[in-house]
Amino acid sequence: MPAPLLRVDGLEVALASTGATIIEEVSLSLEPGETLGVVGESGSGKSVLALTVMGLLPRALARTRGNIQLGGDELTTLSPDAWRDRRGRDMAMIFQEPMTALNPVMRVGHQVEEVLMNRRGMSAGDARRRATALFERVEIPEPARRLAAFPHELSGGMRQRVMITIALAAEPRLLIADEPTTALDVTIQAQILDLLRDLQKERGLALLLITHDLGVIAEITDRVLVLYAGRVAEVAPARLIFDAPAHPYTRALLASRPALTGPRDRLVSIEGAVPSVGAMPPGCRFAPRCSFAIGPCMTAPPALIACAERHAAACVRVGELG
């Protein structure tokens, strides 16, 4: 097995004001060329996890424990400047709504060229040629004309292609995509996912793909991490998430899945709500909504228990659910 490119160990993130934890004991690893899906209901901490890895946590939040290693280097001990440098060079992130990440008053071509000049040391002429080639690669029609456009002159799908171009311009080894297609209509979603998958294969990228959509998980991820209320509920090869889900929460997610032919929007909700930050139950965070919960589930958060190779679930009843 290749050495992981990204390794997160025992990560905890808390509200800076009260110390209430948002993420607890989250560990994961991601190999070069691998796609790890992160799935969970709204508020489960998916974006906070991504921002923590990128070193982009807002001031209101703080990493209180845990380590993050990229290519064997510890990121958490880096100065903000050094972390920013790694972010520009080795890892990149694309967001759900590209409009918020693009500079609205700068032509999109210029935004790509800036990365190429700053990060790859290219001359203006080389950067222009490379930006044109990248636009062609991400299938932006009429690249020369599109390079001169401002973000608002492009469709949502085109803007997301521009974001992908900017993310890939520095040739990162790790790409984090946080709900990269949920703001787009279904046909465009499929095209952007295909593009991400092709680019990931072509470049041997490690891809951390955050999504609500189990259809997306099925289509392009190798492994899946299920987050519930800031803790890992289950981690498994993607196939096993569908064929042999071990955690009651994963099962509930699968059961609440919208029909594949219907609108692929937010997950249809599971009865009850994700507990709020600062008001987490003392035991398993899913216990109040879990039809399998028993006494011990109420007292202490369950540890991850291995159920098969590369498959583990944080449930005291693993193997008993039938």
Ligand X SMILES: Nc1ncnc2c1ncn2[C@@H]1O[C@H](COP(=O)(O)OP(=O)(O)OP(=O)(O)O)[C@@H](O)[C@H]1O
Binding residues for ligand X (CB under 6 A): 15, 22, 40, 42-48, 58, 60-61, 212, 277
Q: Which is nearer to ligand X, 62 or 305 (CB)?
A: 62
Shortest Cβ 8–ligand X spacing (Å): 14
Angle between helices 124-137 and 108-120 (to 10 degrees): 120
Q: What is the DSSP letter of 287?
A: G
Q: Which is nearer to ligand X, 62 or 78 (CB)?
A: 62
Buried b (16+ CB within 10 A) or exposed e, 140-169: beebeebbebebeebebbbbbbbbbbbbbb
Q: Which is nearer to Mg ion, 116 or 192 (CB)?
A: 192
Q: What is the DSSP letter of 180?
A: T
> Do strands 61-70 and 231-237 pair parallel, antiparallel, or not at all (unpaired)?
unpaired
Shortest Cβ 313–Mg ion spacing (Å): 23
Contact 235, 296 (CB under 8 A): no
Note whether 181 binds Mg ion by CB under 5 A: no
Query: Which residue lies nearest Mg ion, judged by its C-beta?
Result: 47
Give the largest Cα separation in the chain, rounded: 68
Alpha helices in the chain (DSSP H): 46-54, 80-89, 98-101, 108-120, 124-137, 143-147, 156-169, 186-203, 214-220, 238-243, 248-255
Contact 185, 205 (CB under 8 A): no
**Contact characters 22-61, Mg ion, x per CB under 5 A:** ------------------------xx--------------
Backbone angles phi and psi of 6, in degrees to 5: -115, 130
**Chosen from Mg ion, ligand X, none, partner binding at 44 (C-beta under 5 to 8 Å by type):** ligand X
Q: Which is nearer to ligand X, 277 or 297 (CB)?
A: 277
**Chosen from Mg ion, ligand X, none, partner binding at 58 (C-beta under 5 to 8 Å by type):** ligand X
Shortest Cβ 233–ligand X spacing (Å): 13
Shortest Cβ 129–Mg ion spacing (Å): 36
Shortest Cβ 134–ligand X spacing (Å): 28
**Chosen from ligand X, Mg ion, none, partner binding at 60 (C-beta under 5 to 8 Å by type):** ligand X
Shortest Cβ 161–Mg ion spacing (Å): 21
Q: Which is nearer to ligand X, 140 or 314 (CB)?
A: 314
Q: Which is nearer to Mg ion, 128 or 212 (CB)?
A: 212
**Chosen from ligand X, Mg ion, none, partner binding at 42 (C-beta under 5 to 8 Å by type):** ligand X
142: Cβ–Cβ under 8 A, 6 or more apart, which residues?
A: none
Contact 20, 36 (CB under 8 A): no
Footprint on this chain of Mg ion (rule: CB under 5 A) = 46-47
